[in-house]
Amino acid sequence: MNTAAYLRRLGLPELLNAPTSAEGLRALHVAHVERVSYEALEIWLGRRTTVDPLESAQRIIGGRGGYCFHLNGAFSALAAALGYDVTRHVGGVQTRGEEPGITGDHLVLTVRGLPTDANPGGEWLADVGLGDALHEPLPLVAGTYRQGPFQYVLRPSEIARGWRFDHDPSGSFVGMDFAMAPTDMSAFVDMHRHLTTSPSSGFVRVAAAHRRDASGVDSLRGLLLSRVGTGLRSVTFDSARDYYAALADVFLLPLDDVSAGEKDKLWRKVHDAHEAWLAGEPA
Length in residues, the chain:
283
Task: Break the chain into its structural domains and give their ranges.
Answer: 192-278
Give pLDDT, residue 50: 98
The pLDDT of residue 213: 96
pLDDT digits (tens, 9 = 90+) for 237-267: 999 999 999 999 999 999 999 999 999 999 9
What contacts 176, CB < 8 A, 6 or more positions away? 91, 92, 93, 94, 106, 108, 130, 164, 165, 167
**Whole-number pLDDT of residue 232:** 72
The Cβ-side half-sphere exposure at 107, using a 13 Å CA radius, reads: 28
CA 140 to chain centre: 19
Segment-wise mean pLDDT, segments of 10 residues, the chain, 283 residues: 97 97 98 98 97 98 98 98 98 94 97 96 97 97 96 96 96 96 98 97 95 96 92 88 97 97 97 88 56
**Class of CATH domain 192-278:** alpha beta
In sequence order, the 6+-apart residues with CB closer than 8 A to the CB of 193 are: none
pTM, full prediction: 0.95
Predicted local distance difference test score (pLDDT) of residue 281: 63
Residues 6+ apart with CB under 8 A from 246: 220, 225, 237
- pLDDT, residue 282, reads 57
Instruction: Determine the 3-state secondary structure of 156 from DSSP.
Output: strand
